[in-house]
Structure 1
Amino acid sequence: MSGAAGNGFRLSLVTRWSALVGTLLALGILIALGLDHLLPGRPGLVFGICLLCMVPLSIITIRSQIQPILSLFRALAGTVTSYKDGDFSFSLRWQQNDELSDLIDAHNDLGNVLREQRLDLMQRELLLDTMVQNTPVAMLLVAEGAGGARPIVYANIAARQLLNEGRKLEGHALGEILQQSNAALRDAVTRGGDGLFTTGDSEDEEVYHLARRNFSLNGRRHELLLLRQLTVELRRQEVQTWKKVIRVISHELNNSLAPLTSLAHSGAELVRRGQTERLPQILETIGERTRHLETFILGYARFAKLPTPRIEACGWDGFLAQLSSQVAFRLIGETPAAPAMIDPAQMEQALLNLLKNAHESGSPPGLVELNVKRVADMLRIEVSDRGPGMNEAVLTNALVPFYSTKRSGTGLGLALAREIAEAHGGRITLGNREGGGLTVALILPA
């Protein structure tokens, strides 16, 4: 439909209605003067005839002027209703060049803006839906339902293929779909929280990561489930890790076996010559290198064979006294009154590694500190030092197994502490301290 009238002679509503009223008033005066001339001395009759003539004429004239305006108002109400329904294809026309034409122009401009925004929003929704539908991550949006039923609101192609052989999932209850799926997936979703789970056996084994997020949509609680297949990525990482392990072990074995071979040859040569006075020194060196190699191998074995934690109540006073008898530290603040629910042996090993790292950082021994505190429903154990701290590259890789910046380091201390923390259902964080130094925190469920 066309828009409002173009720019031309402008006649405002006030001017037009003033002219109309003035014209009707002048016409009434003329009729009264004419009747007074025809009927002299009879003012009552003249007034009555004027009313009979002017009232219908005024009503007809005013109605003829108001009717288009009322039609315009009805059209405006109709377009507003169309806007509410999401239809922005209407525009209006007003023949006069007055204030109402400005209103119609503004209304049509609003419709054009809304129409462009709607088209832009539709294009974005189409782009987003295309991206979501074709992502390899299986996505499920689940709403809360009556009686514990959780209807699936949205599912992409990957989710349909994973859970329902490519068929539609929307409208089905999540529990009903999970009953038909793999037991490992069902257990992972039922258990709650994020995590990894494995399906299949031997060569058909697949590893998935489940992530979930809760939010409100239209006043109703929803949960977004994301299932990502990690099998290929984990296998690639596994190969890289094994290569790194083999390089580290080969390097350490060569560093130990080469001197042992040389010392053994030297000892044999001395025995052959009868010069046995240097044999004790050679044998002592061989023993030292052998013990170093044994310690190295035991460290790897301990990391690879970490058992499931045996959680028990452990009082802080006795635990910290046992720890301080093995490595020095300064206790900061008061320990929580409630005992810790931990595996004492594993947690002691983790803290020993962290405290030894703090001493080896170059920090003054008196500034190696340990702080235990309760934060909400979590237990936070912090080991701090005043060494040089870590740069960004080291912070990024410090928790990776076998990564070490020390010449004689195995790269297992922090990795073992991380493994122990995660086995307890917690995590480990590293951060540089203001003023220099590093803080390593074990964050555990209280």
Structure 2
Amino acid sequence: MSPEPARSGVSDMMAQPKDLLEAFELFNQASAELSAAYAALQDQVARLNDELAEANLRLRQQLQEKEQLSQRLNLLLNLLPGAVLVLDAADRVQDLNPEARRIFGSQPVPGDDWAELAARRLETLEQGEWLLRPVSPGGLDKRLNISYNRLPDDNGQILLVQDVTESQALRDARQRQQRLSAMGEMLANLAHQLRTPLSAALLYASQLQSPALDASGRERFTGKTVARLRQLETLINDMLRFVKGPSETAGNCMLDQLLAELDALFQPLFAAGGLHLLLENSAGDAQLKGGRELLVSVIGNLLQNALQFSPPAGYVWLAARRVGAAVEITVRDQGPGIAPSKQARLFEPFYTTRAEGTGLGLAVLREVIEELGGMVWVNSREGAGAAFGVRIPLAAGPALQSGEGGQEHD
């Protein structure tokens, strides 16, 4: 029996524990790696849980802040003194606050067509203001101020509505009080204004009864009496127009016809006084707001004043020019000018710088022109003449804002 097979079996038996040891080492190594990976995975899961908890906390805080902001905005909308309506892109009401429900009543409600409601219940008064008709008969009209603001991306608009009924009533009452106060001053001044020409007329008329008066004297006193009576007539007409207010401003007139009538009326008066009246029209045949007779009367006051204050052989210029949607008519003279302290009072009722003035001509002028939507101004320096101007809107033009114009004149 050969010994080699026995040695080979012993060698195999000795190799098996070594393989087992290597296998155990590999298993231990893999187990250690798995344990390390599991520990790392646990750390990552714990970290992700912490991050998720922190993100959830931030999200809850943001939701709470948004909820508080939403509540605050709702509270503000509910407490706003003005009405707020939210319209969608089709101009249908999406939402409205309690003040809007108070102002408009049972209509509108969400889903209503705003354009249809506005056409049915709103009447335009002036820029930005409307008259709201009541839903039911017997209700009271309301005066509203409405402003619009478009939402981003043309997704609708927000309407802010203010009920100005009471404030308008207060303004009207204040204007009535001011007019009554002015009328009180007017009555006090009127007695003085009437007394002087009336006394003079009575004196001149009494002279006419004298049998010793010759024909030339009679003619002289007759002329003086008529002049004083005409002064009385002018005073009374100005007073009546001032008391009634600018209620006769309806109608339109052509500028060239207005200037032609002023020229025909005043050229003889200026010529009789040795003065020169020059007319210039660079506005063409524009059509103005206001009746011709009324405008002739009030602009005639400016020419009459220029006639009274012009020096001998002096010149007076009446010029008309287009200024935007209006025509500016300026009367400029070479008189003594007006002190700055007096210019501020020129348009006050019964304030006059002429001994025979009524003090109502310029007050009526301002009231009439402002009622037409225009404006008046004066520009003067002592010793350098005076320029009075009016801006009258064109027949289809918009109203002018107060304060424009006068500063741009020399």
The TM-score bracket by the shorter chain reads 0.5 to 0.7
* TM superposition shift of 1:63: 2.8
* TM superposition shift of 1:370: 1.9
- Deviation track 1:89-128 (CA, whole Å, cap 9, x = no partner) reads xxxxxxxxxxxxxxxxxxxxxxxxxx9xx7xx999x69x8
Structure 1 counterpart of 2:326, one-letter code: L
Q: Is the 8 A contact 1:260 1:286 kept in 2?
A: yes
Name the SS of the counterpart of 1:372 in structure 2.
Answer: strand
Structure 2 counterpart of 1:373, one-letter code: R
| Rounded Cα–Cα distance in structure 1 between residues aligned with 2:224 and 2:169 | 51
Q: 1:322 to 1:217 in 2, by over 3 A?
A: same
- Deviation track 1:385-415 (CA, whole Å, cap 9, x = no partner) reads 37746748744x5444434344432232233
Give % identity.
18
- Listed as ranges, the matches of 1:209-228 within 5 Å are 210=143, 212-216=145-149, 218=151, 219-220=156-157, 222=159, 223-227=161-165, 228=168
Corresponding position of 2:302: 354
Corresponding position of 1:380: 327
Highest RCO, 1 vs 2 (Cα 8 Å, sep ≥ 6) = 2
- Deviation track 1:44-100 (CA, whole Å, cap 9, x = no partner) reads 445313212211122223333442232112111221122222269xxxxxxxxxxxx
Q: Is the 8 A contact 1:359 1:368 kept in 2?
A: no
Q: 1:371 to 1:331 in 2, by over 3 A?
A: same
Corresponding position of 2:231: 292
* TM superposition shift of 1:244: 1.6
2:169 paired with 1:229: yes
Q: Is the 8 A contact 2:326 2:393 kept in 1?
A: yes
Corresponding position of 1:109: none
2:353 paired with 1:371: no
Structure 2 counterpart of 1:215, one-letter code: Y
Name the SS of the counterpart of 1:368 in structure 2.
Answer: strand
Q: 1:63 to 1:48 in 2, by over 3 A?
A: same
Q: Is the 8 A contact 1:390 1:438 kept in 2?
A: no
Q: CA RMSD in A?
A: 5.1
Tell me the TM-score normalised to structure 2 length.
0.60
Q: Is the 8 A contact 1:384 1:439 kept in 2?
A: yes
Q: 1:442 to 1:172 in 2, by over 3 A?
A: same
- Deviation track 1:322-344 (CA, whole Å, cap 9, x = no partner) reads 32233424425x32455446522
| Rounded Cα–Cα distance in structure 2 between residues aligned with 1:283 and 1:383 | 36
2:375 paired with 1:428: yes
Q: Is the 8 A contact 1:421 1:443 kept in 2?
A: no
Name the SS of the counterpart of 1:408 in structure 2.
Answer: coil
Q: 1:154 to 1:354 in 2, by over 3 A?
A: farther
- Deviation track 1:201-241 (CA, whole Å, cap 9, x = no partner) reads xxxxxxx9956343326542535441122464344334312
Structure 2 counterpart of 1:311, one-letter code: G
Q: 1:237 to 1:85 in 2, by over 3 A?
A: same
Q: 1:444 to 1:75 in 2, by over 3 A?
A: same
Count of matched residue positions in the alignment of Structure 1 and Structure 2: 331
Tell me the TM-score normalised to structure 1 length.
0.56
- Listed as ranges, the matches of 1:8-407 within 5 Å are 44-86=26-68, 129=80, 132=81, 153=96, 168-169=102-103, 172-173=106-107, 190-193=123-126, 210=143, 212-216=145-149, 218=151, 219-220=156-157, 222=159, 223-227=161-165, 228-230=168-170, 232-260=173-201, 280=218, 285-301=224-240, 303=242, 308-309=248-249, 311=251, 314=254, 316-327=255-266, 328-331=277-280, 334-337=282-285, 339-340=287-288, 342-357=290-305, 366=315, 368-373=317-322, 375=324, 378-385=325-332, 388=337, 391=340, 394-395=343-344, 398-407=346-355
What residue ranges of structure 1 are gaps of 5+ in the alignment?
1-38, 89-114, 133-138, 160-166, 175-186, 198-207
